[in-house]
Amino acid sequence: MTKQDLIFPSRRNVLAVSAGAASLTFDASLARVLAQGSGPIKIGVLNTFTKSVALFGETTWRGIETYLEEHGGTIAGRQVQLIKEDDEFNPQVALQKMRKLVESDKVHVLLGPLGSHIATAMAEYMKQAGTPWIITGAGATALTKQRIPNMYRATLTNWQVAHPMGAWAAKNAAKDCYVIASDFLAGHDVAEAFRETYEQSGGKIGKEIFPPVGTNDFSAYITDMRSINASAVYGFFAGSEAGRFVKQFQQFGLKGKVKLMGFQSMLDADTFPLQGTSAVGGLSSSIYCETLDTPENKHLVDLYGRKHKDLPGIFTESGYTTMRIIDDAAKAVGGNVENATAFAAAVGKTSIVAPRGPVRFDPETHQAIQNVYIREVIERDGKIVNKVVDTIKDVGDNPANKA
């Protein structure tokens, strides 16, 4: 696919991809698909493309693009139109952009957002609208309690990733810990889930602290960590904050003295360019690891690496896998994504082997069930990467969320 096949009109940030670029054979089955709806399949992408966590919005977008370019810009034989909107990590902005995508652009499916506080603000409207909604980032446990029929979460819940890490860390890393997490919904979710199993498994948390979103200088918090002589720190930060915290952790002399642990977004291929060797030795839990030795992951690593000269991180994989889910669901309904109820139900029935491993949806909570990996940051062949040190298979959402 050439660059000429991708069109980016600046006025509406729309990616329109020609179905002709796929060199498809026009046969009876394709005719039936095209007869189901006129025009392209419209996919709204509502994510954070500015502010401190913009990095993860952009890498999610790259994963979406990677899948579309691989498949000639089509899904179920139909042209795809991506409509990109920036929520600015602000619920009020997100609500305005969401209404535009649903009411004005009339998207067939909405992807995003990244922020848990944004997703929870969107929930009631999206439930009433009925537009299929696939979450590509926000991990708020509260979302699965609401039982939104048209919502599926193709990534993680905060509980799903942090809860297994608490038990593993207490048994394998350190018996006492300092917890630091960004002060918004996801940070508190993560801290609570980690604390529960860490303490149940014999660990002791000396202190919990929540710096405000957008913190640039962590020196006071790091000095506090040093003063209580913690053996380990468990952190949750995203984007540039994750980069700053890990760099300052080394600059203030804690690297090698205090075990660095964190939620997946703090120690990931997406953040390593900001952290360099300061991340080496860090431990995290995640639904994905860029060095997984599987055919599906090697395929993504090759595709992404050829264009971006880098390794995919969790949100790149999230964007790519979400598009695979949409593609499979659209094919299951014969390309008729205009039937929102049938299309959403088809999303829930998808079961695939993604780059991250097996993925299927819980029929009650609509949460992806998948592996959680314990990862360690290493330097390999001159690159900073994660490697898998343990695998917890088939993890769903908090059982307390089930009826």
> 3-state SS of 167-209?
HHHHHHCCCEEEEEECCCHHHHHHHHHHHHHHHHCCCEEEEEE
**How many structural domains is the chain composed of?**
2
Domain with residue 81: its CATH number is: 3.40.50.2300
Give yes or no: residues 306 and 250 share one domain: no
Same domain? For 102 and 238 the reply is no
**pLDDT at res. 36:** 52
- b/e per residue 45-59 (b: at least 16 CB within 10 A): bbbbbebbbbbbbbb
Domain assignment of residue 34, given as a range: 3-156+292-366
Q: Are residues 222 and 265 in the same domain?
A: yes
CA 275 to each of CA 61, 138, 244, 336, 377: distance values in angstroms, whole numbers, following the listed order: 22, 23, 7, 45, 11
Shared-domain flag, residues 32 and 163: no
Q: Is residue 120 located within the same domain as residue 175?
A: no
Quick one: 376 and 316 in the same domain? no
Q: How far apart, in Å, are the Cα atoms of 178 and each of 103, 142, 155, 161, 234?
A: 46, 25, 27, 18, 6
- Does 169 share its domain with 150? no
Residues 281, 178: one domain? Answer: yes
Q: Are residues 270 and 351 in the same domain?
A: no
In this structure, the answer to whether residues 175 and 220 fall within a common structural domain is yes
Same-domain check for residues 201 and 94:
no
| Predicted confidence pLDDT, tens digits, the chain (403 residues) | 333 333 333 333 433 333 333 333 333 344 344 445 668 999 999 999 998 889 999 999 999 999 999 999 999 999 999 999 999 999 999 999 999 999 999 999 999 999 999 999 999 999 999 999 999 999 998 888 889 999 999 999 999 999 999 999 999 999 999 999 999 999 999 999 999 999 999 999 999 999 999 999 999 999 999 999 999 999 999 889 999 999 999 999 999 999 999 999 999 999 999 999 999 999 999 999 999 999 999 999 999 999 999 999 999 999 999 999 999 999 999 999 999 999 999 999 999 999 999 999 999 999 999 999 999 999 999 999 999 999 999 999 988 887 6
| Sign of the CA dihedral with 58 first, then 187, 242, and 310 last | negative
128 with 277, same domain: the answer is no
User: How many C-beta neighbours within 10 Å does residue 27 have?
Assistant: 9
Q: In the 3-class helix/strand/coil scheme, how is 96-162 assigned residue by residue?
A: HHHHHHHHHCCCCEEECCCCHHHHHHHHHHHHHHCCCEEECCCCCHHHHHCCCCCEEECCCCHHHHH
* pTM (predicted TM-score): 0.89
Secondary structure percentages of the chain, helix, strand, coil, to 5: 45, 25, 35
Q: How far is CA 85 from the centre of its chain?
A: 17
